Structure 1
Amino acid sequence: MDPIRKIFDNHDAFPFSFAYKNTKSSLSELPDHFHDWYEIVYVYRGSGTFFIDHTFYDMKQGDLFLIPGNTIHRATPDKDTPVTSTAIYFSPSLLQNPLLGDEFSYLHSFEQATALRSYQLSTRLAQAQHLDQSLESMHLELKHPRVGQRQAIFLQLLQLLLYIQREMGSETKSPQGDSLVGPVWMREILLYLDQHFCENIGLRSLAKQASVTPAHFSRVFKQFIGMNITTYIMTKRIIRAKQLLQESDASVRTIADLCGFESLPHFHAMFKRVLGVTPAAARKSFISS
């Protein structure tokens, strides 16, 4: 099954969404998915596993997860102790503010998470209490609308992002995560794929590297990741291609080559299948926005 692209309305005047203290079972969670918006997840109680990018993390009380846009992820709550969490979603366009003579970005914590390939932060008691109060304040503001509601939510979001950067930047967990989900060879393969997904690799070569049969590799990978190895590699390539379309002036053909697509028609077909638009249309939307 292909990963789901969760769609938010980027044309909304206030590109922000908030899900407060939801308790979800594994059946109510989305399968592997990604979206343009950035996401913050704070865990109040329960346990489970969070697969983000290429790493499994244990979910537990007090954990904070920062998920940059266009990052494959999937939460799997424990059957007996489902996770209760709050999730914040927002478009980075919401934070486009004029320079104030200060080298600061509200997205710095997300940028750091991407650079370190580590998306989990631990909280001490005082930090957990602060986050709880901040999220409750957002919830009450949304629950009881008053004049200036959006401005209030916007300011609270900025304060939250500033707090995370100032007070919790050193709490980042190891890029390897702390979950023992899956065999060691699969965790090693995920790390390898994160660096080599644009190269000419496939099931047989990866299975050989993992010292298992292709059939066993395929079965175990699908069991834990939720998609087959071909779809996983293709999705990571398309996400990378999207980033290059947005951040560079390289031609579509060049980007297709850089991302491991030998055929331009195949690249066009896969890009539209995953993102719903052609590469040219995607680049045009980036320019217009």
Structure 2
Amino acid sequence: MKPFRKPFALDPLFPFEIVHRDRKSSTSELPDHLHDLFELVYVHEGYGTFFIDNTFYEKRQGDLFLIPGNTIHRSFTDIEQPIVSTAVFFAPAFVRMDELGDGYVPFECFESARKNKQFKLDLPETFGRQFSSTLDEIAEELKNRRKGFRQSVRLHLQSLLLGLNRLVSAASDGNRDKSAGPKWLMDALREIDDNPGQSGWLNSLAAKACVSPHHFSRTFKKLTGMNVTDYVNAKRLVRAKELLRATDDNVESIAFACGFQSLPYFYRAFKSLTGMSPRAYRTEGSRSH
């Protein structure tokens, strides 16, 4: 099953959404999906597993996950200890600030997560309590809708990001390896992520992992919820989206560079994921700048 694009119907002047203290179940969790918004997920209680991009993480009370836009992810909750979490979704423009000369970038923690392939943060206990409390305050502002509530929500979020950015900057490299899952699968996922246009053939990946194609395919599906072909295609489409916005290459060149040998198939797959054609997606991006 291909990952789907999670839809949002947000006010352009207030591109923000929060799902506050939501108790999860195996039936309520979304399948593999992605979206353009940045996402913060804070775990209040329970136990589960998070699959983000090419890594599996344990999910426990006090954990925080940073999910950059267009990142494939999926959450699994424990039946006996269901997850209770808060998810915050926002567009980058919502927290963008004027440059004050100190080099501060409000999205630094997300950029670091994407660059280092480390999407989980273990928060210090005091900071975790403050983080949880601020999420409650944001939910309260949205509930009461007093004058200035939108400004209040943005200030709260900017404060959270400032704290996270300082925490990430101060973190040591030794705290980065929090992944779970077989090393051979992690290596395969990393290879696909680094070059989805040239990687992803089942027999080749299985040979490098020194396991049979059947075992590779079965384990891959069990841990990611996707078969190898669907996962690779999803990564190729994400790369295609990046190239459409970042380069002037024609659509055919981008499709072939991302590993699609059939242009009609690329068009169908791209529209299925984004709801628009590659050219329309590129045009929309140029208008927003």
Q: Give TM class, smaller chain.
A: over 0.9
Asked whether 1:197 is paired with 2:196, we answer yes
Work out the CA distance in 2 between the residues paired with 1:130 and 1:137: 10
Map of 2:41 onto structure 1: 41
The 5 A counterparts of 1:1-289 are 1-9=1-9, 12-171=12-171, 176-179=177-180, 181=181, 183-289=182-288
Residue identity in the other structure for 2:79: K
Distance 1:201 1:54 in 2: 13
Are the equivalent residues in 1 in contact too, given 2:3–2:33 (CA < 8 A)?
A: yes
Distance 1:40 1:51, change over 3 A: same
> In structure 1, how many angstroms separate the alpha carbons of the residues matched to 2:250 and 2:176?
33
The amino acid across from 1:192 in the alignment is: E
Q: Name the CA distance, whole Å, in 1 between partners of 2:38 and 2:72.
A: 12
Q: Deviations over 1:123-147 (max 9, x none)?
A: 1111111112211111111121100
Equivalent-residue separation in structure 1 for 2:75 and 2:179 (angstroms): 15
Identity of paired residues, percent?
A: 43
Aligned residues: 287
Paired AA for residue 177 in structure 1: K
CA distance in structure 2 between the aligned counterparts of 1:249 and 1:84, rounded to whole angstroms? 44
Q: TM-score, normalised by structure 1?
A: 0.93
Tell me how far 1:171 sits from its aligned partner: 4.1
Question: Which ranges of structure 1 fall in alignment gaps of 5 or more residues?
Answer: none
CA distance in 2, matches of 1:175, 1:197: 24
Which of 25-34 and 255-264 deviates more? Answer: 255-264
* Contact 2:38-2:89 within 8 A present in 1 as well: yes
Cα separation, partners in 2 of 1:14 and 1:25, compared to 1, 3 Å? same
Runs (4+) of structure 1 moved beyond 6 Å? none
Q: Distance in 1 between matches of 2:86 and 2:152?
A: 18
Ranges in structure 2 where 5+ consecutive residues have no aligned partner: none
Post-superposition offset of 1:11: 5.6
| In structure 2, distance between residues paired with 1:176 and 1:211 | 23
Out of 203-212 and 230-239, give the one that drifted further. 203-212
TM-superposed deviation, 1:272:
1.2
* Deviation, structure 1 residue 218: 1.7
- Compare 49-58 and 94-103 and name the one that shifted more: 94-103
CA–CA separation in structure 2 for the residues paired with 1:27 and 1:216: 27
- TM-score after normalising by structure 2: 0.93
Q: Which amino acid aligns with 2:212?
A: T
RMSD (CA atoms)? 1.8
Give the Cα separation in 2 of the matches to 1:103 and 1:247: 23
Measure how far apart 1:196 and its partner are: 2.8
* AA partner of residue 115 (structure 2): A
* In 2, Cα distance between equivalents of 1:133 and 1:168: 20
Cα displacement string for residues 1-37 of structure 1 (whole angstroms, at most 9, x for unaligned residues): 1112101136632110001111101221101110110
Check 1:175–1:5 CA distance in 2 against 1; reply closer, same or farther (3 A cut): farther
